[in-house]
Amino acid sequence: MPPDAQSAPVPPPPPPHNTAPAPLPRSPLTFDDLAADLLWPKLLRVPRLALEPGRLTLGVIAVLLVALAEELLRLTVVVDAQGPLSKLGESIITTAGPRLGVSPGEGAWQAVFTVPAIVLAERPLSLPLALAAVAAVWCLLGVAVSRSAIVEFSTGARLSWPRALRFASDRLGSSLGALLGPLAIVWGIALFVWAVGQPMHAVTGLDVLAGLLFPVALVLGLIAAVMVFALSLGGLLLGPAVAADGADAFDAVQRAYAYALTKPLRLAFYLAVALVVGGLALGVVSEIAFVAQRLAVAMSGTPLADSTFAIDAVVPADASRSQAAAGRLARAWVYVLELGVYGYGASLLWTASGLVYLLIRQVCDGQDLGEIYIPGMLDATLSANMAPTEPAAGDAAPAPRSDHQGAPR
């Protein structure tokens, strides 16, 4: 090899090519990205879910049934200008409402015990009948609305309102037991303490024994107070527990009370968010209905008095007979519009309670939002697991075992 070839420098290797991939374009940050791991933003879907025609229909039917029961009792049993439910609601608002801001405990006492007892003494027949009608409507139509909303929210499938109503009717006993059971226990405790304590304090000598047994009354009062607190916070979860998990009455009460006592602040927060969202949605719908009513009356020349609420849309006194008939017909259609608004409010209430139940269930139990009870699934799973398996072809059947007498075990 020539000397020049030995001393020739070796050229450096070429620089490596840059093989790093080009940066991908970033998508804009959206609200869904920020709220992906949060639960409370899912309550923003309540207004749209409540507006679904099937749930809206059930809400309208519920309001109509309660209104008819109230009016029927007012005309036949009470014979008064005010029905039993209106009387109870007005008494709670005027008597217990102001006390809730000053002393929540005193306000709860007035709302749960004092005011219902006073109204019950005034209307001993009509009030229980009206409350029974409300309970039946709540447990039938309310559970149906919650079931329909829960199925669509969890699975994305649409459940027709007849199927939702059939689901609720099959579990009406569980829903009624869950709703009325805690109230019966609380009132039973109160009546028991009253029935035992009042006679003992009226007899000389027994009043000392009543003083010695007063800690028992305190313990019973503590149990009733805890139940009232849990019911006031978790009462709206009783129906959704049946709708989402197919729970019986005892299991529904246990779930609702456990969630209310385990995570009271989280549950109160979810209820507050649902209240704000639902209130805003109902306010918007009410204003739209009001503008529609005003526009229709003003532009068509219908003889109705200029009013804010449909219930005040009366026919003017100086209207002719034909004008009065036209005004009454128009007022009937205005009532239909208002009934739709009230029905949307009922649908909002039961839809929101169903979604709140799913959220607080995931927080407390870690159960996924998509896990709901499907009728027949549990029975099919158990049947598949308990079905005998046939041996594969070519496998010998196991020989029967025998005891010492030779009898097969």
Residue 403 lies in a domain: no
Percent of the chain with pLDDT over 90: 39
Whether residue 334 is predicted with pLDDT greater than 70 in this model: the reply is yes
Any idea which of 4-13, 135-144, 192-201, 289-298 has the lowest mean pLDDT?
Answer: 4-13
Distance, in Å, from the CA atom of 106 to the CA atom of 104, rounded to the nearest integer, reads: 6
Residue 148 lies in a domain: yes
Average pLDDT over residues 106-110: 76
More confident residue, 29 or 183: 183
Whether residue 396 is predicted with pLDDT greater than 80 in this model: the reply is no
Residue 391 lies in a domain: no
Tokens for 27, please give them.
């998508």
pLDDT tens digits, residue range 127-162?
888 889 999 999 999 999 999 999 999 998 999 999
Domain of 366 in residue numbering reads as 47-370
pTM of the model: 0.77
How high is the mean pLDDT of the chain? 80
Residue 119 lies in a domain: yes
Q: What are phi and psi of 408, to 5 degrees?
A: -70, 145
Are 228 and 108 a contacting pair, CB within 8 Å? yes
What pLDDT score does 74 carry? 79
Residue 282 lies in a domain: yes
What pLDDT score does 109 carry? 76
Residue 152 lies in a domain: yes
Residue 284 lies in a domain: yes
pLDDT tens digits, residue range 74-84?
777 765 667 88
Domains: count for the chain = 1
Give Cβ neighbours of residue 319 (< 8 Å, ≥ 6 apart): 303, 327
Are 70 and 85 a contacting pair, CB within 8 Å? yes
Residue 341 lies in a domain: yes
Whether residue 1 is predicted with pLDDT greater than 80 in this model: the reply is no
